[in-house]
Structure 1
Amino acid sequence: MDSTPASSPTSLRHEAEEALRALVGRGDARLRDDQWTAISALVERRARALVVQRTGWGKSAVYFVATALLRARGAGPTVIVSPLLALMRDQIGAASRAGIRAATVNSANVTEWEAVHAGIAAGEVDVLLCSPERLNNPRFRDEVLPRLAADAGLVVIDEAHCISDWGHDFRPDYRRIRTLLADLPPGIPVLATTATANERVTADVAEQLGVTSGAPGEVLVLRGALDRESLHLAVVPLPDPATRVAWLARALRDIEGSGIVYCLTVSAAEEVAQQLRAAGLEVGAYTGRTDPAERERLEEDLKDNRVKALIATSALGMGFDKPDLGFVVHLGAPASPIAYYQQVGRAGRGVDRALVALLPGPEDRAIWEWFGAQSFPDETRVRAALDALSVDTPTSVASLETAVDLKRGRLESMLKVLDVDGAVRRVERGWVATGAAWEYDAERYRRVAATRVAEQEAMIAYERTTDCRMAFLRRALDDPDLAEGWRCGRCDTCGGVSLPDAPDAAAIESARSDLDRVGVEIMPRPQWPSGLDALGLDLRGRIPAGEMAETGRAVARLDGLGWSGPLRELFAAVDEDGSPWDGETPAPLRTAAVRALTDWDELWGDDDGERRPRVDGVIAVRSTTRPRLVEHLAGGLAGWLGVPLVGTVGPVPGREEPDRHDVNSAIRLAGVARRLALELSPAAAHGLAGRAVLIVDDATDSGWTLTVAARLVRRAGAGAVHPFVLAVR
């Protein structure tokens, strides 16, 4: 700790406000009282503080001003743990305006890491921003982080609700921060900030902030009012996706300024963006599939008003800073009022009025349930992973997949939680077990799951409430300043919001026609998963071209709009006994399947000026779950194409029970490879050589059923295999 004499409160506040003015570029800027309270606690008392304040309140000013004051007193650099690249870019820009030298290490600037580390060692970096995931990179964790922690002048955890199991955006990597805080030397101040924490999350985060190497420390908690006077909230219930898209196209022409349209899934965001561009609107799609460089370009386009809106998933969320954002519209509701408040908080920070509209859909619950199913695995699978790990020899995630029947994303998340719990450790070439005792906290996971269900019900209640909507959100976040009976006077239930006119019948019909598109490409699997020899399969490396399928087609994805709705209904339907519904392909889907084949150019050739199919026969993937559906679909398509149904690919005797789909790639492939066999008559097998075949199934998920089926048919002599399914899961 430096030995600079303490400043008087008056002179320190003057110095702090001079730093604030440099930061914001305004000569009249003054600190809010709670900003000053936090800054003085960090600088004078080297305290630990949690600041829970609405978006736009100025939380980043607290840590940048505190950094300037601490560095002037000889303290080391500030370390900011920040969740998103967009947030990091904005913060580095803000810091440079105040003469604060900021740098970042993240997945998008790998080539700069060595220079950044050298700058830190030379004292040339005032602020280092890093992602929570970076905290467990073996080299960063073992070599860089200990030096930073020992010499840091301030540690900041931004979007601190991510620390808590109860937060709407819980991240396993954020729980590692508890260990970082416990290992900090005495006297290093810590600041945590968030805009979205109710009392339960606030208490949980404050408890974790108080963890030290000695006795629990005192944590200063500053919570402010959550009302946003610029936000005009509304819920617009509309009957179907076409009407919602038509309303949105009309609204974007009427609403002033630019903004964000949130969708619940990647497919929906991409479809909506395509629809709006076709309607002549300047919009971009921003999702988890968007390339990092493209994301940065889209962010700048929105900030500079070169686009009317970004059609985004939650990938565009915390930390995106555009003070004049004029609107936030949701096509589909987030799973909790807390998550909703966090996203709508992007709007209206620097304007007097911003429209916030929610267009809920009946499919929202199914999407919430799908995300909920990605929760922490059951104890059997966790124990299987621990048993498969060595204490001495690292195991890669790919190799671990052969021992644990979890998809890779869930497996990696589970390992991160076990790492935080001390049961495993990430090293350079994979993961090792620590040998430490570990208990499965079933009660904790049950409570978290129950809380999420309660939050979903609260979101439904928000949609249906006739009371003030802002009061509802403030109550959901336990706003300490919410007075009994308070109403905002600005939302649709208070009568203070003007909504764009409803779309006319022609606009709705046009949107419905656009959503009527069919045909999604199914890319063939190019390579076998690693480690299959451990499962008794002699498959490795790239799949030979002579054993691969061609690029296939599906009618639609299950998580999109348009035909996704009827497909979701089909695959969610059950019989009276609870088993999956099975029957003839519904008539609308027959028409959609025929249209998808008609539009599939690679399936057709020109014979004397007449368009003819390039396939010589159809093979069905014999289903044990929906046998009538697949048989009817395959037979109907064969008849329409004018080619024979030549055989099936089906389960071998004794393996009729369907395999699970919620497993990782290696386990899924192993099950499929052992289960399926080609079933052809002798005549069909004899005539297969060099022929092109259409393989038909009801749906595809991992792609391994179609891959194995295509390999069987190609190895039997077929010259080409074209997969076709109703839906991509």
Structure 2
Amino acid sequence: MDNLELRTEADAILAELIGAPGSGARLREDQWQAVAALVEERRRALVVQRTGWGKSAVYFVATALLRRRGSGPTVIISPLLALMRNQVEAAARAGIQARTINSANPEEWDAIYGEVERGETDVLLVSPERLNSVDFREQVLPKLAATTGLLVVDEAHCISDWGHDFRPDYRRLRAMLAELAPGVPVLATTATANARVTADVAEQLGTGAGEALVLRGPLDRESLRLGVVELPDAAHRLAWLAEHLDELPGSGIIYTLTVAAAEEAAAFLRQRGFAVASYTGKTENADRLQAEDDLQANRVKALVATSALGMGFDKPDLGFVIHLGSPSSPIAYYQQVGRAGRGVEHAEVLLLPGKEDEAIWRYFADTAFPPEAQVRQTLSALADAGRPLSVPTLEAAVELRRTRLETMLKVLDVDGAVKRVKGGWSSTGREWTYDSERYAWVARQRAAEQQAMRDYVSTSGCRMEFLRRQLDDEGAAPCGRCDNCAGAWADSSVSAETLTGAAKELERPGVEVEPRRMWPTGMAALGINVKGRIPAGEQCSTGRALGRLSDIGWGNRLRPLLTENAPDGPVPEDVLHAAVAVLADWARSAGGWAPGVPDASDRPVGVVAVPSLARPQLVGSLAEGIARIGRLPYLGTLTYTGPDGAHAARRSNSAQRLRALSGTFAVSEELAAALVQSPGPVLLVDDYSDSGWTLAVAARLIRQAGGGQVLPLILATAG
């Protein structure tokens, strides 16, 4: 078959894919170039093209052509569960049978593997996390590598740790690439790769198979009109949304930086009569599916979402994207706004930055590769054990939070220093070098991205040109559409009535604080004799906090009080009275006692404070103020008996946190006597809870000393 006949066949498949057979639809020349490279030349190619360019059309058309010529199924590695669902439906229109393997459908895996082996599946979409599963790697991956007709790596920038969204699971692709049969084409696609990331991904793709073909196009999005609206505070931003959301075209996405902000914004907008749904990492899968369907069908005006929605949503007529807070990277921002305007001529994109954005960036910045000492500590623990160790067991040996420890292990796995086996992780014994220069450069890159995001907000130049230059787009030029090119187009005004309503919503205090119920694994190795479930008679009860530090409401008020270097001082009056309001609401919801009513049933017998090294005045005045206003006896504080700094350890894993707290508190004879003389519930007051272990340890001591139910009341939780 000559090139012209192949092109005719490809165009016919495209027409079926878009649901218009016989329409004369044609691949664009750049799309055809990619298809021809895969089908005719059986090459490895990297396609860097803007969102909406039609990357999925390339690999579905190529799949159909290759399958007709006897090739095995296409395997698509994609982190985008929502996009997977969209693509399965699109593939069906072209007669392509597609199935998915991801965390949302484990009950279907065995049946799907059988379909693949019998040749009944044309496309298998796999989440990158599967590549790090021992069973998948040992039992499924070798068969896939041997039979794959086309390998597609979607969102390929995730392969490179130079990029903004590096995911260690993607590095497992090296093994699959090496095991592919000769002549199997490979396609990597992304819309967000600068020159450095492009070169890195292309090099990894070409390993052992010659130089990869790089097809890079201009990244302008002519349908998008970009703008920034700077408002004084979170209440103004919520009020702006409530007053201007109806003015935005069609349905869209409102991105927030935190789960708490998404839930707050969605709740307020629903109160104002808008059909919106929240979509976060905490949203149940069934609710996510419903939210996606509702947006696709325009039954909601917007999804209020965190990056959990991210790249993985395909709605060509999405009319707007609003950011309630700045992402920490302009490349990530370009990626998210690229969801809008893919199939319409005009879409609105607005950024509403907040004063709290940088504090939130810092909180979520705990992702850099750990210092060499911590890595070596982990490697030594695995080598000394002589057996596989689970992540919870390793936590007892290294001061890293679980997510960061797991990420580090995945990188070490790819580097060959450790391997994931049944039962956990084991050492390979291979020599490993800490690439300090690379890790330092990546850290500097993250800092530079944050500065670029500040510059995006303040620039007087073209905003689309700015984003394109961040992606090293050589054709970047003024767009003529954004607020800096064509003049401000978004009205920043809000009415007093709406602003008051937004302020009241954000000022409403109170969130639940879930207690710790299980001891960390491996504490015996640290000389602490606890394991399994914390006995019910020693547990803390579910408590209350004034707010989360990630809130856009109370988080903004509390963050200056609780930052690491904040000066100590008496609790501010507004904060104290808000804490009392939380206590009153808590009491009402429990159907029992009420603050200020001395003879109410189930009334706490008193208030106990957690001793604070960093903020003794804040915690002490908070506890005493609650006791005074609530007419409760103030019983004093637990006694601090630990070394300086032990109680201040934060942002480590549970095992290390508990070790730091072991032996640091005691119940004085006076406090013990008061607890025994007046048995009953005790209010335990502290300023902040990150891991929950300080409250758990303090509650256990109080209950062992004869105290009753322990009810924690704190100013803030981490998230």
Identify the TM-score tier after normalising by the shorter chain: over 0.9
Structure 1 residues 169, 608: closer, same or farther in 2, change over 3 A?
Answer: closer
Determine which of 163, 183, 195 is the counterpart of 2:191: 195
Q: Does 1:488 align with 2:503?
A: no
Structure 1 residues 653, 171: closer, same or farther in 2, change over 3 A?
Answer: closer
Q: Does 1:410 align with 2:399?
A: no
Determine which of 462, 465, 468 is the counterpart of 1:468: 462
Kindly indicate whether the alpha-carbon contact (under 8 Å) linking 2:254 and 2:305 is maintained by their aligned counterparts in 1: yes
Kindly indicate whether the alpha-carbon contact (under 8 Å) linking 2:381 and 2:394 is maintained by their aligned counterparts in 1: yes
Structure 1 residues 173, 682: closer, same or farther in 2, change over 3 A?
Answer: closer
Per the alignment, residue 458 of structure 1 pairs with: 452
CA offset digits 1:389-435 (Å, max 9, x no partner): 14852211111111111111111111111111111111121111111
Kindly indicate whether the alpha-carbon contact (under 8 Å) linking 1:647 and 1:679 is maintained by their aligned counterparts in 2: no
What secondary structure does 2:679 align onto?
coil
Structure 1 residues 523, 573: closer, same or farther in 2, change over 3 A?
Answer: closer
Per the alignment, residue 10 of structure 2 pairs with: 16
Q: Does 1:103 align with 2:96?
A: no
Per the alignment, residue 495 of structure 2 pairs with: 504
Determine which of 51, 58, 62 is the counterpart of 2:58: 62
Give 1:305-704 correspondences, 5 Å limit. 305-390=298-383, 393-482=387-476, 486-495=477-486, 498-500=489-491, 502-572=493-563, 574=565, 580-601=566-587, 602=590, 604-605=592-593, 614-654=603-643, 657-681=646-670, 684-685=673-674, 687-688=676-677, 690-704=679-693
Structure 1 residues 274, 688: closer, same or farther in 2, change over 3 A?
Answer: farther
Supply the distance in 1 between the matched residues of 2:450 and 2:332 (Cα, whole angstroms): 10
CA offset digits 1:277-309 (Å, max 9, x no partner): 111111111011111121111111111111110
Supply the distance in 2 between the matched residues of 1:625 and 1:682 (Cα, whole angstroms): 23
Q: After the TM superposition, which of the residue ranges 339-348 and 633-642 deviates more from structure 2?
A: 633-642
Supply the distance in 1 between the matched residues of 2:672 and 2:705 (Cα, whole angstroms): 13
Q: Offset of 1:231 from its aligned partner?
A: 0.5
- Which amino acid is the alignment partner of residue 286 of structure 2? A
CA offset digits 1:222-243 (Å, max 9, x no partner): 1111111111100000010000
Q: How well do the aligned residues superpose, as a CA RMSD in angstroms?
A: 1.8
- Which amino acid is the alignment partner of residue 276 of structure 2? V
Per the alignment, residue 246 of structure 1 pairs with: 239
Kindly indicate whether the alpha-carbon contact (under 8 Å) linking 2:388 and 2:425 is maintained by their aligned counterparts in 1: yes
Q: After the TM superposition, which of the residue ranges 522-531 and 643-652 deviates more from structure 2?
A: 643-652
- Which amino acid is the alignment partner of residue 351 of structure 1? V
**TM-score, normalized by length of structure 1?**
0.95
Give 1:32-71 correspondences, 5 Å limit. 32-71=28-67
| Sequence identity (%) | 58
CA offset digits 1:41-64 (Å, max 9, x no partner): 111111000111111110001111
Supply the distance in 1 between the matched residues of 2:464 and 2:203 (Cα, whole angstroms): 29
Structure 1 residues 682, 636: closer, same or farther in 2, change over 3 A?
Answer: closer
Kindly indicate whether the alpha-carbon contact (under 8 Å) linking 2:647 and 2:660 is maintained by their aligned counterparts in 1: no
Per the alignment, residue 140 of structure 2 pairs with: 144
Q: Offset of 1:136 from its aligned partner?
A: 1.5
Supply the distance in 1 between the matched residues of 2:483 and 2:633 (Cα, whole angstroms): 60
Kindly indicate whether the alpha-carbon contact (under 8 Å) linking 1:489 and 1:496 is maintained by their aligned counterparts in 2: no
What secondary structure does 1:674 align onto?
coil
- Kindly tell me the number of residue pairs found equivalent between the two proteins: 712
What secondary structure does 1:605 align onto?
coil
- Which amino acid is the alignment partner of residue 660 of structure 2? G
Q: Offset of 1:329 from its aligned partner?
A: 0.1
**TM-score, normalized by length of structure 2?**
0.96
- Which amino acid is the alignment partner of residue 222 of structure 1? L
Q: Does 1:280 align with 2:273?
A: yes
Supply the distance in 2 between the matched residues of 1:654 and 1:245 (Cα, whole angstroms): 45
Structure 1 residues 688, 117: closer, same or farther in 2, change over 3 A?
Answer: farther
What secondary structure does 2:485 align onto?
coil
Structure 1 residues 493, 653: closer, same or farther in 2, change over 3 A?
Answer: closer
Supply the distance in 2 between the matched residues of 1:496 and 1:351 (Cα, whole angstroms): 22
Q: Offset of 1:651 from its aligned partner?
A: 2.4
Per the alignment, residue 159 of structure 2 pairs with: 163
Supply the distance in 2 between the matched residues of 1:62 and 1:356 (Cα, whole angstroms): 28
What secondary structure does 1:372 align onto?
coil
Supply the distance in 2 between the matched residues of 1:683 and 1:154 (Cα, whole angstroms): 70
Unaligned runs of 5+ in 2: none
Kindly indicate whether the alpha-carbon contact (under 8 Å) linking 1:261 and 1:312 is maintained by their aligned counterparts in 2: yes
